[in-house]
Amino acid sequence: MPGLTSFLFSRKKVSDSKAKAKNEESKSSYLKRSKRFGMAECLEIVAANQSLRVIAPLTAELHGIFHAMCDDEDRLYKSAPFFDVHQIEALQDMLTTRLVRMQNIMQQIESAGGTPDGAIVDACERKTRFVGALAVVIIIRKEKEENAKKQVAEREEQQKMRDSQLYRVDILPPRHVQQDLSYEQMRAHLRTCGYGAAN
């Protein structure tokens, strides 16, 4: 039966070689696909890691500035519940400077493909409006202070004029008459002359 054995063996060899070839082809195409997928995936991971390396410190800095701004603002409120214009101006300058820095950082985060913290973005917008309101308050307070100073200066000037008129020698009675007049009589005399009515 050598012919049958060799025939079967040759058929097995052919089928084995075909299976092997098919296996190799399948393996090759799989490797090609996996290589392509792996490279794309690796590039995505690298890009994401690079983005994270850029975004993470910016986000940390953004949070740090925001919390420092809130702390300084609270400290200023507690130390000076009644603001004068200079304190309000100092608060406005501090908030404006830090808001500009925070807005720059948020732009850098967006450029790097990240999304800034929504709560901080909202808080920045509120503080921006607050800074605008502070500017109006500063103008009003300055006007009030200037008006108050003018009123004080006018009152002082009027008082000086009244005092100078009150002690003018030409409206006082003669010295020998003054000696015999009481305080009330002296005031009555001055009132008849048109001076010292408010005193």
Residue-wise pLDDT for 137-149, tens only, equals 778 888 888 888 8
Whether the per-residue pLDDT at 195 is higher than 70: the answer is no
Q: Please report which confidence band the pLDDT of residue 165 belongs to, taking 50, 70 and 90 as the band edges.
A: low
Q: With H, G, I as helix, E, B as strand and everything else as coil, classify residue 99.
A: helix
pLDDT in the model for residue 145: 84
> Are 92 and 135 a contacting pair, CB within 8 Å?
yes
* Distances in whole angstroms, Cα of residue 142 to Cα of each of 3, 88, 127: 118, 11, 22
The amino acid at 59: T
Q: How many residues does this entry show for the chain?
A: 199
The amino acid at 103: Q
- Integer Cα distance of 110 and 48 in angstroms: 14
- Residue with the bigger pLDDT between 186 and 103: it is 103
pLDDT, tens digit (0-9, with 9 covering 90-100), for 166-177: 555 555 666 666
Closest CA to 116 of 131, 130, 106: 106
Residue 101 phi, psi dihedral angles, 5° rounding: -65, -45
- Integer Cα distance of 35 and 32 in angstroms: 5
The number of CA neighbours under 13 Å toward the Cβ of 35 is 6
- Residue with the bigger pLDDT between 6 and 52: it is 52
pLDDT in the model for residue 59: 81
pLDDT, tens digit (0-9, with 9 covering 90-100), for 111-138: 877 777 777 777 777 877 777 787 787 7
Q: Please report which confidence band the pLDDT of residue 18 belongs to, taking 50, 70 and 90 as the band edges.
A: low
Q: 115: which DSSP letter?
A: -
Whether the per-residue pLDDT at 29 is higher than 50: the answer is yes
CB neighbour burial string for 86-100, b if at least 16 within 10 angstroms, e if fewer: eebbebbebbbebbe
- Integer Cα distance of 82 and 181 in angstroms: 51
Whether the per-residue pLDDT at 68 is higher than 50: the answer is yes
